């Protein structure tokens, strides 16, 4: 068999309206020499059509735009742009989907350049169908959709719009973690453009010995622009999957019953990720994403059904889409989004499509807090059952167990920078409100702070943090990497990015 390259339907070309030399000279004269050096490179400045839309991100509290957006289409253009930006003393942020929770993809200010890699989105499936090479701008949704066509899959984010590289290099939770590991566990190799324009591949003989380790959990862009990753792919399992929705008021008893269920049995093939939502302000709900990846011969279907029946006894079931028979259910979820499913047994890709997700780039401002706990308990259920402050506020819960909590035994930290390998629940408290709703904004911020404080006061919080759900804070690198990991990260930064060009992508590496 030959390798397969994804077709044009998986490619997003640079938008029309790139700036001319005269426009760049007027709007961003510092980039004029870059334009002349690489005339095929797409550069967009303030006078470009739809410039604001091109730079739209998921948090509207940021209103200042970068001096320019550079949209490369290949690794050579990335190298030229990065070297130039570094030499001219400019700063940059690496942007893919623009939904990074901590703002690391945002460039704004008189010297900031946005390096937008969304048109670098090639996907190549290996001839043996065991690996895929993906460029830095590929979304998780496009990757898993492409693989689905060939009966394959790999762990990806719950939202199909999230950029794969940022998700995987930061950790990478998914419904498949229990049997396939985290996103970081599936990174086999990568290529990175360094601040001086050099291209370094982890398969190269002269590669820095810590580069692959850093890509596996250090965060995307920590020492350079990730232009491609080579990742594992797997046989696509069928799954018994869907959303089971309960009233939030029943959260304490549900949390206790989840604790009891998992103490009895928690197979790796089951994923119990969840969300708390407040659709249209009509009353908060607890939505458990029931997902059971079946054996190839479906011999465990009855076991999966039994597990589902136990979950359905937890409380008052408002909605249950985890059915084997064909059906159609419509659920109003976040921000008026409609989630619709119509299937028999699902595939991971079809299940992802059924998960209602917020519309991108809405007129909202955000605050976010994150904490990990070792497991469910009645006390935890009481804390998170507090009424939601606004209809757009949400709690996301990712459950890590099975293959996602182990690699190869005692050398866990030798393989990946990702720190938290104990079984745990990772929470994201995402508060949001309209920019003109000051009261809702204050309530949202206070709510997120209060939940984090209450989880911590109860002694439930683990010391580890999750980079993809966090806003940068002073000394936060210690919480992502641990003491030894922090030393190692700082050393590779000193070797490969001594001037800290990629500061926006990097946690604070001082010790708190």
Three-class secondary structure assignment of 279-296:
HHHCCCEEEEEEEEECCC
- Mean pLDDT value of segment 161-190: 96
Given pLDDT bands bounded at 50, 70 and 90, which one contains residue 467?
confident
Surface-to-core class of residue 477, CB atoms within 10 Å of its CB (0-12 exposed, 13-18 middle, 19+ buried)? buried
Phi/psi of residue 394, nearest 5 degrees: -150, 150
Q: Which fold has domain 123-235+474-505?
A: 3.30.465
Say which CATH topology domain 239-469 has.
Vanillyl-alcohol Oxidase; Chain A, domain 3 (3.40.462)
- Which tokens sit at 512? 């708190």
Ranges assigned E (strand) in 294-384 = 319-320, 329-332, 338-341, 365-373
Question: What CATH number belongs to 15-116?
Answer: 3.30.43.10
**Alpha helices in 224-312, H assignment, sequence order:** 251-264, 301-312
What's the rounded Cα separation, in Å, for the pair 129 and 483?
A: 39
Least confident span in 273-282, 376-385, 449-458: 273-282
Helix or strand run (H / E) with residue 211 = helix 211-215
**Whether pTM exceeds 0.85:** yes
The token duo for 258 is: 């989840």
Q: What is the pLDDT of residues 209-228, one digit of tens each?
A: 999 999 999 999 999 999 99
- Dist. CA 446–CA 441, nearest whole Å: 9
Q: Residue 374 has which token pair?
A: 């070792």
Q: How confident is the model at residue 469, as a pLDDT?
A: 85
Q: Shortest CA distance to 256 belongs to which of 378, 366, 398, 156? A: 378
77 within 8 A of 56, measured Cβ to Cβ: no
Mean predicted confidence (pLDDT) in 98-118: 83
Q: Of how many residues is the chain composed? A: 512
Instruction: Decide if 15-116 and 123-235+474-505 have a common fold.
Output: no
Per the DSSP assignment, residues forming a β-bridge with 232 are: 131
pLDDT more than 70, % of the chain: 94
Cα separation, 130 vs 233, in Å, equals 5
* Span 303-317, pLDDT tens digits: 999 999 999 999 999
At residue 340, the pLDDT reads: 42
Whole-number mean pLDDT of the chain?
A: 90
The whole-number pLDDT of residue 430 equals: 92
**Tens of pLDDT, residues 289-301:** 999 999 999 999 9
Q: Is the pLDDT of residue 139 over 90?
A: yes
Domains of the chain, by residue range, sit at: 15-116, 123-235+474-505, 239-469
Q: What is the pLDDT of residues 9-42, one digit of tens each?
A: 999 999 999 999 999 999 999 999 999 999 999 9
- State how far the Cα of 353 lies from the Cα of 148, in Å rounded to an integer: 12
């Amino acid at each position: 068999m030959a390798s397969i390259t994804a077709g044009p339907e998986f490619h997003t070309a640079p938008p029309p309206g790139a700036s001319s030399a005269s426009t760049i000279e007027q709007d961003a004269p510092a980039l004029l020499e870059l334009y002349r050096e690489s005339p095929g490179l797409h550069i967009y400045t303030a006078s470009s059509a739809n410039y604001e839309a091109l730079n739209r991100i998921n948090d509207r509290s940021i209103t200042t735009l970068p001096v320019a957006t550079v949209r490369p289409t290949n690794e050579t253009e990335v190298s030229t742009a990065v070297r130039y930006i570094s030499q001219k003393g400019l700063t940059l942020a690496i942007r893919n989907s623009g939904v990074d929770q901590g703002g690391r993809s945002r460039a704004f200010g008189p010297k900031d350049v946005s390096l937008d890699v969304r048109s670098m989105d090639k996907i190549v499936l290996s001839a043996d169908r065991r690996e895929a090479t993906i460029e830095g701008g590929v979304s998780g949704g496009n990757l898993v959709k492409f693989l689905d066509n060939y009966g394959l899959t790999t762990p990806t984010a719950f939202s199909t719009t999230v950029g794969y590289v940022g998700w995987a290099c930061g950790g990478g939770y998914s419904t498949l973690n229990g049997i396939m590991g985290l996103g970081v566990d599936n990174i086999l190799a990568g290529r990175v453009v360094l601040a001086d324009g050099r291209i370094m591949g982890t398969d190269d003989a002269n590669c820095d010995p810590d580069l692959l380790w850093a890509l596996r959990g250090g965060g995307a862009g920590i020492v350079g622009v990730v232009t491609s990753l080579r990742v594992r792919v797997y046989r696509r399992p069928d799954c018994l999957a869907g959303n089971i929705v309960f009233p939030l008021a029943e959260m304490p008893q549900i949390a206790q019953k989840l604790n009891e269920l998992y103490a009895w049995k928690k197979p790796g093939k089951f994923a119990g990720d969840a969300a708390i939502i407040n659709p249209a302000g009509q009353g908060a709900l607890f939505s458990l994403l029931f997902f059971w990846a079946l054996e190839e011969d479906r011999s465990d279907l009855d076991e999966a059904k039994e597990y589902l029946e136990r979950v359905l006894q937890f409380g008052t079931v408002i909605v249950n889409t985890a059915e084997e028979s064909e059906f159609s259910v419509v659920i109003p979820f976040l921000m008026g989004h409609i989630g619709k499913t119509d299937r028999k047994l699902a595939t991971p890709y079809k299940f992802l499509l059924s998960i209602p997700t917020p519309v991108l780039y809405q007129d909202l401002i955000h605050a976010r807090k994150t904490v990990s706990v070792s497991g469910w308990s009645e006390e935890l259920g009481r804390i998170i059952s507090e009424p939601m402050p606004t209809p757009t506020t949400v709690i996301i819960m990712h459950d890590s167990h099975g293959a996602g909590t182990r690699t190869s035994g005692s050398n866990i930290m030798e393989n990946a920078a990702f720190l938290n390998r104990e079984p745990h629940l990772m929470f994201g408290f995402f508060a949001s409100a309209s920019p003109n709703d000051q009261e809702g904004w204050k309530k949202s911020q206070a709510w997120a702070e209060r939940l984090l404080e209450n989880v911590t006061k109860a002694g439930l919080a683990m010391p580890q943090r999750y980079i993809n759900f966090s806003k940068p804070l002073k000394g936060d690198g210690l919480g992502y990497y641990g003491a030894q990991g922090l030393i190692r990260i700082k050393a590779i930064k000193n070797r490969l990015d001594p001037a800290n060009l990629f500061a926006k992508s990097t946690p604070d590496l001082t010790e708190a």
